[in-house]
C-alpha cells in the first residue's frame, strides 16, 4: 500500500482477538498472484514450459540454427506470457468477479494491475531462465554470460509493450473472446514473425506482413543480440523505437478499454 495509515480504528467492544498487525497487504497480494500463476497448469505449461519444449524439438532438429532458434523462442516466451497469459488472467478474473470483490477492499485498480504486471514479468523471467539453462546444457548453443544477460534484459524490456497489448486484450470483451483471440493471435503472430521457423522459408505474403507485427520487432532484438543471420538490415534502435510506438498506441487503447469496462460495470 502506498499509504501506511497507522491510525488506530476505534474498535467495538468485541471479544475477538486482533493481531494488531499493521503489515501492508501488498506483499501478500503479490504472493497470492504468484501462487495463482504457479498453481495454474495451463499457465505453467504454455507460459513457462512451451519455449523450452519447442527448443528441444526444433533446436535438435536443426542443430546448425540452434542459436537462432533459441533467440526466436526467447522472444516467443516473452511474448506469450505478456500477451496470452496476462490477457487471459485479466479477462478471466473480470468474468469471475474477483476484481469486483477487490473493489470493496483498499486494493486500488492501479495496484491490482501493477502487481499482476510484475508477476507477469517474473513469470517471463522464469520461462526465459528455464529455456536458457536447458539450451546451454543441451550443448548446441554457445553464448557468453554477457550475451545471455543481454538477451534476458532485452526480452524483459520487450515484455513492457507486449504487456500493454495483453492489458488491452484483457479488457476488451468477454473472457471467451479474449481466450480465443489470445490463443489464435498468439500462434499467428509467432509463426508470422518467424519465431518458430525462419521467415525466409515462409510465403512472401507472410514476409511482407511480418515487419508490422510487434513480435517481429521482439524477434529482431533477440537475433541481433545473438548475432543471428535472421536479423534484417535495420539496427537495434529502430526495432526498439517501433516497440516504443506500439507501447504508446496500446497504452492509449488499454486506457480506452479500461474506461469502457469501468463505465459498463462500475459506473
Pick between residue 11 and residue 139 the one whose CB is nearest to another protein: 11
Distance CA 37, CA 72 (A): 24
Least distance from C-beta 27 to another protein, angstroms? Answer: 9
Number of residues that bind another protein (CB under 8 A): 42
Distance CA 93, CA 91 (A): 5
**Interaction of residue 14 with another protein, rule CB under 8 A:** yes
Q: Which three cell numbers, joined as nine digits, stand for 204?
A: 512472401
Give the list of residues 6+ apart from residue 35 with CB closer than 8 angstroms, or none.
none
Task: Please choose, out of 23-31, 68-76, 139-147, 153-161, the segment that lies near another protein by the rule CB under 8 A.
Answer: 23-31
- The torsion angle over the Cα atoms of residues 66, 80, 152 and 122, rounded to 10 degrees, is -140
**Interaction of residue 114 with another protein, rule CB under 8 A:** no
Q: Is 59:97 a contact under the CB 8 Å cutoff?
A: no
How many CA atoms lie within 13 Å of 51's alpha carbon, on the beta-carbon side? 33
**Interaction of residue 19 with another protein, rule CB under 8 A:** yes
Which positions from 69 to 108 touch another protein by CB under 8 A, shown as an x/- string?
------------------------x--xxx-xx-xxxxxx
A 10 A CB-CB count for 228 gives: 19
Pick between residue 13 and residue 203 the one whose CB is nearest to another protein: 13
Which residues in this chain contact another protein in the complex, by CB under 8 A? 3, 5, 7-25, 28-29, 32, 35-36, 39-40, 93, 96-98, 100-101, 103-108, 266-267
Amino acid at each position: 500500500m502506498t499509504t501506511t495509515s497507522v491510525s488506530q480504528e476505534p474498535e467495538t467492544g468485541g471479544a475477538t482477538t486482533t493481531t494488531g498487525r499493521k503489515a501492508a497487504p501488498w506483499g501478500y497480494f503479490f504472493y497470492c498472484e504468484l501462487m495463482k500463476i504457479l498453481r495454474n497448469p495451463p499457465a505453467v505449461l504454455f507460459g513457462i514450459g512451451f519455449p523450452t519444449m519447442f527448443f528441444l524439438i526444433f533446436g535438435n532438429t536443426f542443430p546448425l540454427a540452434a542459436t537462432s532458434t533459441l533467440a526466436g523462442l526467447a522472444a516467443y516466451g516473452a511474448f506469450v506470457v505478456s500477451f496470452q497469459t496476462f490477457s487471459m488472467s485479466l479477462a478471466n478474473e473480470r468474468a469471475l468477479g474477483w476484481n469486483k470483490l477487490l473493489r470493496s477492499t483498499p486494493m486500488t485498480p492501479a495496484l491490482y494491475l501493477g502487481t499482476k504486471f510484475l508477476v507477469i514479468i517474473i513469470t517471463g523471467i522464469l520461462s526465459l531462465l528455464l529455456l536458457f539453462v536447458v539450451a546451454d546444457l543441451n550443448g548446441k548453443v554457445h553464448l557468453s554470460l554477457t550475451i545471455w544477460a543481454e538477451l534476458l534484459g532485452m526480452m524483459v524490456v520487450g515484455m513492457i509493450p507486449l504487456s500493454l497489448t495483453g492489458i488491452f486484450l484483457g479488457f476488451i470483451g468477454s473472457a471467451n473472446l479474449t481466450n480465443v483471440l489470445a490463443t489464435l493471435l498468439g500462434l499467428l503472430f509467432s509463426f508470422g514473425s518467424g519465431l518458430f521457423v525462419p521467415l525466409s522459408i515462409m510465403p512472401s505474403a507472410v514476409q511482407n506482413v511480418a515487419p508490422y507485427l510487434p513480435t517481429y520487432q521482439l524477434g529482431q532484438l533477440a537475433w541481433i543480440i545473438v548475432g543471428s543471420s535472421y536479423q534484417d538490415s535495420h539496427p537495434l534502435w529502430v526495432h526498439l523505437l517501433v516497440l516504443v510506438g506500439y507501447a504508446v498506441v496500446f497504452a492509449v487503447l488499454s486506457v480506452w478499454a479500461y474506461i469502457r469496462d469501468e463505465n459498463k460495470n462500475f459506473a
